[in-house]
Structure 1
Amino acid sequence: MLGLGAGGAAKSPKQPSFVSYLTPEEIEVKEKEQAAKVDDVNLLPGETLLCEASNVIKCAQDDTSQRGVCGRLICTNFKIAFLCDEVPDDNTPEFKHKILSENDITLHCVDQLYGVFDDKKKVPISGPSLKKYPKKLIIYCKDFRVFHFSLCYCKEADVKMIVSGIIYHTLSSKSLKLLFLFSYTAAAPCYIARSAKDHTTMFDKDIDWRRELERTKANLFYKVLSVNETYKVSERLPPYFVVPVSLQEESVFQFQGRGIPIWCWSTQNGSALFKMASLPKDVDDSAIQDQRAFLDSVEKTLHRPPYEEVKIEDLSVSLPSLSEIQMAYTRFKQLFLIDNAADFWETDSKWFSLLESCNWLEIIRQCLKKAIEVIENLESQRINVVLKEDTASDFCCLIASLVQIMMDPHYRTRSGFQSLIQKEWVMGGHAFLDRCNHLRKNDSEAPVFLLFLDCVWQLVQQYPLAFQFSETYLTVLSDSINIPIFSTFFFNSPCQKDAHKWAEDGLGKQCELLSFYTVWDWSVQFELKALSFLKNPLYVEKSKLEKSRKAPRSKHQRQLSLPLTQSKSSNKRGFFKEETGPLIKSLLGKRISKLISASDEVPCSYRVFYEDWHRKPLDVHGLILPHIEGPDVCIWAQRHLRWIPEAQVIGGGNMAAMQRILELVDEIQSLKKKVKERTTSNHPIAKENDVDNRRRKSVRRSSLFPFALIHKTSFRPSISTTPWRSWEVEDELVNRDDEYVDLGSI
């Protein structure tokens, strides 16, 4: 059971003050020692120390918050860091980050700041100036860490400097050029990818798109356009994209790429998946006529031959709005921002109702359901599907990516998955800068990409044999969004990235071409030992025999002959259900369009397709469909609960099961090796080495490993109790006689 963070509670419990065990004389001696100490701050290239404070106490998140360690709190243009005065342990963790330590917080990772004034926790601090400075600073992070820093023993000048500096550099709006990304890229050595084996297709060249067309056997029906190389058509579109062969290049310029079906992927049966940005809505009558003629021409390009059927999925109607996603995620994350253990257990009895009311899991279910509906059209009905949205860069990216992951096993490998994100999200123009709120403007923030990763995690945990990457990979990928040394998730479009790839001198003139780091080179963040945690040891690669034995590709039946009779009744007479339907729906808006579509809605056959597929034997290298009902959609525990000691299962959970499986695999491999040595030679069997025996020595790990270590803490009972303080000592409960209950009197 879990608890609710104080940020989501109506009334926060009183925060106890910190008790010092140092005398004033000892504190003064400590200050002198720190002044004489050589500065040991490790700074990255381009990183500058802005402010710091000594004698800061990092408080422990136990029931009383009266324990902690002393050190320095610093703020740079990259991160907030706590430097402990105590000598660190010699035990290096197995999963260590090369850039960030345990007590480092990137400025982009800061979610909210709270101050404690007179033992009372106040509302989030937002203003650049304060009349009164807090005695304690609480930092809520986007990766669900919570830090408590006591400033009671700092100098008043240091308190003002560190608090004002943190507020200004984390909460105030910024310009793009002032992000640490540019300082680091300009100062760091020229970037050369070191992970050559893990090749990721970047889709920034036309050859990448041509290879993708060849891989999906779609090069006969679609072509790569380069009309947007200089972004003259649209700043939202990539420099290269794929459209149907019959589409005229001149039509792309008419509405700046809007209304154009852009190819995403093709199935083996010939049906294809497209995405399309909506045409402008606020237009006059003459423009309406132009739009109608334009849609007719686009319809003809997709209806080749004319009896082909195309389905439009208007995602702005069938899925929640961006504001609804942001609201749901804001409520959801409060469940995991835990101030202390008391806060955890206090809301234990109502945690599930709070989880249901936030609606985050329901939104995940809706996205998975919509992806299954699209797959049913592509796979069962064999018709083309066009995903439609205002800019085609939010839900179009999400649903298109989920469809390809479920249908194409290539995208379930690590390099394939990274290539998919490059194709659909980075080059597809997803507004990472706005949606992740990197500039602190809060105008259009919505965690659409995090929603996508959560949907992918649902697939990974339901089908662990089908994915080459682990859930740890997805977790560190979500963390990488807020590390401002990679350009992958820091621009709204390829055009914006190319416009800012030149470094400027003091006079504002372009002087040097910047070579941005990509997040896909994981060796920048992790050592080789830690990189092994990103791989799924249960994944079985498709054998070479299966790869060489290509499945017979069924010819596109719609291109062979006209059907003798109409296969099914349909009221479609064009691109949409009605001839002028799309134009009316786009002009009247979302609410009225729901009323229009409700009257002529045809019963969807996806349910039959969904149930039939789940009755068949599973092929992990073929189509996979997730279970989407009831408890099948779960909480991504490793990401959301990893910093909460009370949520850990010591020696249990998925990690314990995985560890046992790996031990068995190693034992089988060792036995095979012994048998082979005995049958091929007369020499005695060599002694088992440490590599073969590396997992045999089992250790009790937390269910949230490798992020959370085992914490020795006072765990409350897992049974929901209110209030928990009334529980007796454990020994008394064990030795106490059972109470007698007369069932006859009930």
Structure 2
Amino acid sequence: MGMLGLGNGLKMEFADKIRIPKLNGVTMRGPHISNTSTGTLVITGHHLIFSSRSEDVELWILNRNIDIVERKLNTITLKCKDFRIIVFDMPYIEQATSVAASIESLIMTDETDYLHHNMFSNKNNEYRSPFDVKSQCEQLVAGDSMWRISQVNKSYRVCSTYPELTVVPSNVDDTMLIASAKFRQNGRFPVLCYRHEKGSVLMRSSQPLVGSSSKRCKQDERVINSVLGPGKRGYIIDTRSVANATNAKARGGGFEMEAHYPQWRRVNSALERHNVLLDSLSKIVEACNDTTCTIERWLNKLNGSEWLSHVKDTLNAACLVAQCLNKERASVLVHGSESTDATLVLISLTQLILNPECRTIVGFESLIEREWLQAGHPFETRHKSGCYNAARSKVSSSSSSKIFHHGSGATFLLFLDCTWQIHNQFPCCFQFSTNFLSSLVDHSYCSDFSTFYGNCEADRKNNPCGKPNLWSHFDQKIDEIINPLYLHTNNVIWPSVAPFSIELWRDMYLRWSIDQTHQKKYKKSIDDLIKRNKELKILATKLRNETQESGNKST
């Protein structure tokens, strides 16, 4: 859509927030802009648009992609959630002040208002996904009489962050589930996530509300203990450190007491919380943006960010869970405190390691839908601000900045980074390319699609935003996300977690800092050759069969 049609084609939503809708004579530059351009800047309720006819440049930025706005005299610097830094020089200081105020007002707009009032919204549509909860649950049960689909959470009355349907043990009734929910933080009672072919199962929940008085709940014990047969043992993987899990008792939380869960062995596999991850991300992005530093300073910054250490620790924990299920044939329950962050990372990565279906495009989309969206990862809260806002909030005394940043995190990005690490080690085991992962990161922070809207299924169902789902979009872009190296295998893949095996995701963190045009062309040429080779093999097989059939007829 060309910018020339903006005057007639776009409604001016949020007109009261936009002081200057259009400004000529603006210069665009910056560390992530290859060439300086002068043209027109347009602000709408949905996008920030820069266009230069003379230099054939047009840039569209979703307002919600803008993390922070910095102004100095007549210059505005935009730092985006996708890590880009873009600088605009205005003719006058007063114009820069008005433009900066307009953009800041727009990016502070509530997500619900934003999604319900934009030029692409179609309010006759509802949020729809090809991976509805019912079909996901039916696929998980798959005729196994040990499990059933429960409607105990109908209308989200037991747990506001769970879907309405969950898979639970057949010998546990709904009254027990309600009691268990009251004993678990935010009502997140134990539910089934994955059934391994060797008979072990993977479950998740939130922490038990044991408290300092070591309370117990017999119904909760029944729910968890019923998963194990006589003589069987299981593991409870706690994503907190021993100290943090113990300290949680003083705040009303805690962990399962061994006396009440005798068949379960508790193991602490400490992973950092979402806010720590975001601070770490801000440091690694800062390091990647510093293209003039020495090698020694670069390595110090990279190490000081601790991001790759978080990636390593997370992969190590996921391998631990996978080993319990696959090699020991022991069932596993994973939880932390709320269990809407680190728990979901482990649950997802474990299935990626063990289940080849999750390495297909549809399987990976289904995994995200099931273990992130339907499982209640608070995308709206976690992605309200990005790494630049996190860095500013640490040094800013502004209370509004800290409030806006509160609750933000980088958990989902960590999961996709870990997925990239496994993909990097096993490039032939994934049907999708790493471009798919990069695109998922961007859409999770700001998107024209409804998939990552809200904090849970209840938000998306009760407040439909009338936008299409992301998975349908990827269906139309399949050639851009397919991996030509893919060879289907049913094998379990065990990623190396040795320090030298963990690499920087260059295509994510360095995509704006380094011109990767030649690398992309080189990679595309290889992909085209591989694709052509596959086509020729198929053709050769077809011709061979036709020749053989022709020979048989002649005899």
Question: TM-score w.r.t. structure 2 length?
Answer: 0.80
Contact 2:120–2:448 under 8 Å retained in 1 = no
| Matching residue within 19, 22, 29 for 1:52 | 22
Contact 1:404–1:411 under 8 Å retained in 2 = yes
Take 1:295 and 1:645, find their aligned partners in 2: how far apart are those partners?
53
Q: Which residue of 2 aligns with 1:371?
A: 318
Deviations 1:274-314 (A, max 9, x none): 0011123557x4xx44x253443334423333x22121001
Contact 2:379–2:454 under 8 Å retained in 1 = yes
CA RMSD of aligned residues (A): 3.3
**How has the CA–CA distance of structure 1 residues 534 and 80 changed in structure 2, closer, same or farther, with 3 Å as cutoff?**
same
| Matching residue within 282, 288, 293 for 1:330 | 282
Q: Which residue of 1 aligns with 2:100?
A: 163
Contact 1:473–1:534 under 8 Å retained in 2 = yes
Contact 1:200–1:415 under 8 Å retained in 2 = no
Secondary structure in 2 matching 1:441: helix
Q: Which has the larger radius of gyration?
A: 1
Secondary structure in 1 matching 2:405: coil
Deviations 1:291-343 (A, max 9, x none): 253443334423333x2212100112221222321221111111233xxxxx5
Secondary structure in 2 matching 1:345: coil
Q: Which residue of 2 aligns with 1:108?
A: 64
Q: Which residue of 2 aligns with 1:416?
A: 363
Q: Does 1:265 align with 2:174?
A: no
Q: Which amino acid aligns with 1:82?
A: F
Please show how residues 565-576 of structure 1 align to structure 2 within 5 Å. Answer: none
| Matching residue within 141, 146, 152 for 1:221 | 146
Deviations 1:88-122 (A, max 9, x none): 38xxxxxxxxxxxx622212211233333xxxxxx
Take 1:316 and 1:421, find their aligned partners in 2: how far apart are those partners?
23
Structure with the larger helix share: 2
Deviations 1:445-474 (A, max 9, x none): 111111111111111121121111111111
Take 1:538 and 1:433, find their aligned partners in 2: how far apart are those partners?
35
Q: State the 1:157 CA deviation.
A: 4.8
Q: Which amino acid aligns with 2:157?
A: K
Q: State the 1:228 CA deviation.
A: 0.9
Q: State the 1:538 CA deviation.
A: 1.8
**How has the CA–CA distance of structure 1 residues 364 and 311 changed in structure 2, closer, same or farther, with 3 Å as cutoff?**
same
**How has the CA–CA distance of structure 1 residues 43 and 448 changed in structure 2, closer, same or farther, with 3 Å as cutoff?**
farther
Q: Does 1:623 align with 2:492?
A: yes
Higher mean C-alpha deviation, range 181-190 or range 344-353? 181-190
Q: State the 1:254 CA deviation.
A: 2.2
| Matching residue within 203, 210, 228 for 1:303 | 228
| Matching residue within 385, 410, 418 for 1:455 | 418
Q: Which residue of 2 aligns with 1:405?
A: 352
Q: State the 1:629 CA deviation.
A: 0.9
Q: State the 1:210 CA deviation.
A: 1.6
| Matching residue within 127, 138, 142 for 1:210 | 138
| Matching residue within 57, 62, 74 for 1:135 | 74
Take 1:185 and 1:150, find their aligned partners in 2: how far apart are those partners?
28
Contact 2:39–2:52 under 8 Å retained in 1 = yes
Take 2:276 and 2:480, find their aligned partners in 1: how far apart are those partners?
34
| Matching residue within 172, 177, 190 for 1:252 | 177
Contact 1:237–1:257 under 8 Å retained in 2 = no
Q: Does 1:234 align with 2:197?
A: no
Deviations 1:255-289 (A, max 9, x none): 53654321001111110000011123557x4xx44
Contact 2:193–2:204 under 8 Å retained in 1 = yes
Any gaps of 5 or more consecutive residues in structure 1?
A: 1-36, 90-101, 117-133, 338-342, 502-513, 542-619, 682-746
Take 1:60 and 1:441, find their aligned partners in 2: how far apart are those partners?
26
Q: State the 1:664 CA deviation.
A: 4.2
Q: Kindly, what percent of the aligned residue pairs are identical?
A: 22
Secondary structure in 1 matching 2:287: coil
Take 1:302 and 1:674, find their aligned partners in 2: how far apart are those partners?
54
Contact 2:46–2:119 under 8 Å retained in 1 = no
Q: Which residue of 1 aligns with 2:457?
A: 494
Secondary structure in 1 matching 2:237: strand
Take 2:160 and 2:127, find their aligned partners in 1: how far apart are those partners?
28
Secondary structure in 2 matching 1:416: helix
Q: State the 1:517 CA deviation.
A: 2.1
Q: Which amino acid aligns with 2:484?
A: P
**How has the CA–CA distance of structure 1 residues 233 and 672 changed in structure 2, closer, same or farther, with 3 Å as cutoff?**
closer
Please show how residues 575-654 of structure 1 align to structure 2 within 5 Å. Answer: 620-646=489-515, 650=519, 654=523
Take 1:67 and 1:232, find their aligned partners in 2: how far apart are those partners?
55
Q: Which residue of 1 aligns with 2:530?
A: 661
Secondary structure in 1 matching 2:412: helix
**How has the CA–CA distance of structure 1 residues 61 and 367 changed in structure 2, closer, same or farther, with 3 Å as cutoff?**
closer
Q: Which residue of 2 aligns with 1:312?
A: 236
Q: Which residue of 2 aligns with 1:92?
A: none
**How has the CA–CA distance of structure 1 residues 521 and 257 changed in structure 2, closer, same or farther, with 3 Å as cutoff?**
farther
Secondary structure in 2 matching 1:491: coil
**How has the CA–CA distance of structure 1 residues 258 and 522 changed in structure 2, closer, same or farther, with 3 Å as cutoff?**
farther
**How has the CA–CA distance of structure 1 residues 443 and 522 changed in structure 2, closer, same or farther, with 3 Å as cutoff?**
same
Q: Which residue of 1 aligns with 2:470?
A: 519
Please show how residues 90-129 of structure 1 align to structure 2 within 5 Å. Answer: 103-116=59-72
When the two structures are aligned, how many residues end up with a matched partner?
497
Higher mean C-alpha deviation, range 135-144 or range 156-165? 156-165
Take 1:57 and 1:183, find their aligned partners in 2: how far apart are those partners?
30
Q: State the 1:366 CA deviation.
A: 0.9
Contact 2:201–2:331 under 8 Å retained in 1 = yes
Take 1:643 and 1:241, find their aligned partners in 2: how far apart are those partners?
42
**How has the CA–CA distance of structure 1 residues 40 and 492 changed in structure 2, closer, same or farther, with 3 Å as cutoff?**
closer
Q: Which amino acid aligns with 1:73?
A: L
Q: Which amino acid aligns with 2:420?
A: W
Q: Which amino acid aligns with 1:212?
A: L
Secondary structure in 2 matching 1:428: coil
Contact 1:185–1:516 under 8 Å retained in 2 = no
**How has the CA–CA distance of structure 1 residues 185 and 245 changed in structure 2, closer, same or farther, with 3 Å as cutoff?**
farther
Q: Which residue of 1 aligns with 2:110?
A: 175
Secondary structure in 2 matching 1:70: strand
Q: Which amino acid aligns with 1:486?
A: F
Take 1:136 and 1:432, find their aligned partners in 2: how far apart are those partners?
32
Deviations 1:589-627 (A, max 9, x none): xxxxxxxxxxxxxxxxxxxxxxxxxxxxxxx32211111
Q: Which residue of 2 aligns with 1:590?
A: none
Q: Which residue of 1 aligns with 2:50?
A: 82
Q: Does 1:360 align with 2:307?
A: yes
